[in-house]
Amino acid sequence: MPQDWPFATCSHFTRAGPHEWHVQEAGEGPLLLLIHGAGGGTQSFRHLFPLLTQTNRVAMFDLPGQGFTRPGAQRRFGLDPMAEDIAALMDAEDWHPVAIIGHSAGAALALRLAEMGRCDRIVSINGAISNFSGVAGVLFPLMAKVLAALPFVADIFTANASRPGSVERLIAGTGSTLPSEDLTYYRRLIGNRAHVAGTLSMMAQWRLDGLLSRLPRLTAEVLFLTGANDKAVPSSTSERMARRMPNAAHVELGGLGHLAHEEDAARIRDQLRPFIDRQVAT
């Protein structure tokens, strides 16, 4: 664990299920649980985490195979097994969050955990809660499986991370603009072969059909926050899902992209704070 990684002093490692999890935790008060998206890590909450710890106990972790979490089972990177393993981590850490805040694929995991009865208040930040449509729905998962199976593919991604401008172009492709320090952390993650391999394996095993069919019956309170400039997941995805769910609301934030919580953490905090506080008070 690099000592210069964000919030390294808040880190510990926990064995739960098949994985050895990298966990970070700080603050006091009702617990909030943060779940990052595919290809990221706890560093993606480096601006939001300290804002939330002013009023809450906050916990976050790296997904299996990503960041500094060491996977113990390579075939448990799909939605359901990953949610089951997160539930095991929650038991090991005695976490009972009043809200789970998930970004991108982390939002899908948060919603699955709500289905499992682990929390009834969910905040989705640019949630990746749709499958690819048309031919892409067949080809993209197949391509991910092929890429994940080829041992040299992770090496190619890792080597590309050192090329000038490569990470900048990757982040710009999400519709977000990040300062150079934030880009440095992504460059270090993408330069880590194990992290890239774990992300590819997650993409290869990811399926949302079952969850999407059940979400209209989910009674949990859900707040969908989206960035109007998101080029990775259209804002309309969350808007449509919010209309289909019984206790959901959608707020679109102008000027922000897929990494909205990294671009303007205070704005995200201000949006989710009333939702969380209202729920805690009931």
pLDDT digits (tens, 9 = 90+) for 38-87: 999 999 999 999 999 999 999 999 999 999 999 999 899 999 999 999 99
Is there a domain that residue 266 lies in? yes
pLDDT interval class at 169 (50, 70, 90)? confident
Residue 218 tokens, joined: 């989910």
pLDDT at 1: 80
pLDDT digits (tens, 9 = 90+) for 173-193: 899 999 999 999 999 998 898
Residue 1 tokens, joined: 């664990």
Is there a domain that residue 248 lies in? yes
CA distance 106 to 129: 10
Alpha helices (runs of H) in the chain, residue ranges in sequence order: 48-52, 79-93, 105-115, 136-149, 153-160, 166-172, 180-190, 193-205, 209-214, 235-244, 260-263, 265-281
Is there a domain that residue 177 lies in? no
Is there a domain that residue 239 lies in? yes
Q: How far is CA 213 from the centre of its chain?
A: 21
pLDDT at 120: 96
Q: Which domain holds residue 61?
A: 8-132+209-281
Is there a domain that residue 186 lies in? no
User: The domain spanning residue 63 has which CATH number?
Assistant: 3.40.50.1820
Is the pTM higher than 0.85?
A: yes
pLDDT interval class at 24 (50, 70, 90)? very high
CA distance 95 to 198: 25
In the predicted model, is pLDDT for residue 233 greater than 80? yes
Is there a domain that residue 265 lies in? yes
Is there a domain that residue 230 lies in? yes
Number of domain units in the chain: 1
